[in-house]
Structure 1
């Protein structure tokens, strides 16, 4: 019995039956190691030594979370919310309701996409932006499933394609894990390889907005803690200006040094030395930011330990030989199977970032054996990692939108967020990821 298949199946089954993914990864690694003939303590040692593989990424996430919280406390996100509300009127009162819908959708789309690269605050903008706009959505009769697909697109597509912010982390994980699995690539090749799959996500978003969720949907206006109105307390212009300077400064550092740790640290330093944060509040901000990103960080670290055990079993090469024997030289079937495997693994884990260390261990040697080009291999690994993030009940790409849209209890996590995003993003990703593997 192949230890790699056993480990992955155990991890996946446990995750799907709602065992915490960190525990699922640990148990999967232990069982896989034992099946391969390793003793328990040897397996634990290998797993522990492998934990450091994602430590840099986890620290980057923690500091980005702190930066996101710090930016939110400057009032900049609130200024954006006020602008969005004023744009369509407090109750969606506009001479042209269609124009109001387009404007509000454009604002949410822009902010969602910016949250991954331009202003790397990830999901921190959702509880600030979305609940105050629910009454506007109700007045305009916007189907919230459309808003969920927009936000999820913004939380995924930018980091898949663009090497900035969280995209820099994602591309770095792909490069590092592919190199560890035997294939050296250039970071510059990753956007080229992932362009076609990203186009698939664009197609899915267009279908959702123009066809699937175009019709009006009625919701009951419920009073929540967030009122749709401009800020009662005036936001300090100086705080907003400093926040913008901090964002620009962090982007410059990121581009210059290719380090999210330095980038986030530099942004936090600007906010602190400008007086926007004192030492006492800085401690709270950093702690809150780490809490926000802790889940992703722990999953990524655990996934690195899991991947280390998988590689150490020696069964990866055996699995590759068996797979090549079954698939032969049928690249079309091989690409489809790899993408489906990626879908199931990511659905269980709930994080594209955490999936890459696992699938790279399997896909790199398999792709080399079948004869895929480096660009095609990048496309397969990147797409397989992205698959399942949308649609997974445990993913922050679905939990975030639901948290904002369900503030009044009228948005179902599974049927209104997970199912729509699964259909409109995972299906196109499989199709366009397969096309990329065939043409690159």
Structure 2
């Protein structure tokens, strides 16, 4: 029975690497797990659907944040930021990279637009990058750093989703933990990402580099945009963002926070009411896939748990590894790296990882915080270097607007080296000392 988990995860990973969409990969792997456990297809699918309800709130949060992000982008407030960057930071390479990383950080917590800001912010800056001979790999690491580190370390915005998902995943397997404790457990792994970003900025990619034309593009990147002046709607947008943030912190509900921001922007006409359908469609297009991945992943984890396959795996693991925490932690992190690389979503892998890790960690005597550190680190591992991750696809979409940036060699490899290696080391340390 212990082979059910391993084979199901390998099937999911293999299908993902073959570029079969992750949703289908997880569903097929779930059916394989059910059949191997002696269930028929109908019962397996019913169990999958039953388990999907565990992440319904998270999925709704993603959809509402996507709609809110579409509204924020519509107001054009990001264009004002672009103009300021070009005016102030032209010629200051290192400072420009650090500022881009800081702006990306805001997209996960304070202004929860996720990757929606990249196509607006980065293409107008490409000409500036070339004039300064700025290594675009530095910008890629800055963007990925900002897209990941804040939610790993801070339980606000997408960070609240991340740590709520860890909390629910652990509770479903019988271990209670507060969101604040989960966030605290990820401070050490997050520090590893900060170190990686500083190394990339000040050492690895500090030298001049001329971007090479890799692809022909049909349209030129617009660099001379019409000047945007600060308007009343931009002020309303800032108010909506602040209200959404405050309500989220007070209520600990991302759904209520995002919904309040949307309502304010519509009621005060920061965005036109008649375009409501467009905002919904753009929001769902931006965040819908991640939301459904999390739903299906939750169902997959439910199947593994209900079939008893995880318990069998725990018994088998104990027989082989005993209670050697150092070795167990390292192996679990490597498993997380492989799984997340295949799926490409740290959020989507948490329900699966929690179902696998919690019983093993309980048997080995890990504390709840150490267990949370392992789950959070393993989920984040691979996301940065995965070709299918938003954390790499987003930066590439902006940096390759003029055909001069390679997705694998200029985004995935640099982010893998500078973030996943420190995450693995620092996450391993956290699991041992917490």
Q: Equivalent of 2:97, from 96, 99, 105?
A: 105
Scaled by the length of structure 1, the TM-score of the pair is: 0.95
Asked if the contact 2:74/2:271 (under 8 Å) is kept, the reply is no
Question: What is the CA RMSD across the aligned residues, in angstroms?
Answer: 1.4
- State the match for 2:18 in structure 1: 17
Given that 2:94 and 2:206 are in contact with CA atoms closer than 8 Å, whether structure 1 keeps it comes out as no
Aligned counterparts of 1:271 and 1:283: Cα–Cα separation in 2: 14
Deviations 1:377-433 (A, max 9, x none): 110011001111101011000000000000010100011101111111111111000
Contact 1:138 1:220 (8 Å CA) reproduced: no
- In the alignment, structure 1 residue 128 sits paired with structure 2 residue 117: no
TM-score under structure 2 length normalisation = 0.97
Q: Given the alignment of the two structures, is residue 246 of structure 1 paired with residue 240 of structure 2, yes or no?
A: yes
1:398-417 paired onto structure 2 within 5 Å: 398-417=392-411
Structure 2 residue aligned with 1:182? 174
Match of 2:66 in 1: 65
Pick the aligned partner of 1:146 from 117, 134, 138. Answer: 138
1:205 aligns with 2:206: no
| SS class of match (2:179) | coil
Counterpart residue number, 1:227: 222
Superposed displacement of residue 66, structure 1: 0.8
Alignment of 1:302-313 (within 5 A): 302-313=296-307
* Structure-1 separation of matches of 2:389 and 2:156: 21
Q: Is 1:333–2:327 an aligned residue pair? A: yes
The correspondence for 1:432, drawn from 423, 426, 433, is 426
Cα distance in 1 for partners of 2:211, 2:192 equals 31
**Distance across 1 between alignment mates of 2:171 and 2:135:** 44
Deviation at 1:72, TM superposition (A): 1.1
Matched residue, 1:387: 381
Displacement of 1:184 after TM fit? 0.6
- Tell me which of 342, 346, 349 is aligned to 1:348: 342
Deviations 1:92-143 (A, max 9, x none): 4xxxx4xx11332232111100000011110000000000000000011110
Question: Counterparts of 1:157 and 1:233 in 2: how far apart (Å)?
Answer: 32
List runs of 5+ in structure 1 lacking aligned partners: none
**Secondary structure at 1:188's aligned position in 2?**
helix
Deviation at 1:234, TM superposition (A): 3.6
Question: How many Å separate the matches in 1 of 2:268 and 2:212?
Answer: 44
Distance 1:396 1:9 in 2: 22
Within 2, Cα distance between the matches of 1:204 and 1:357? 27
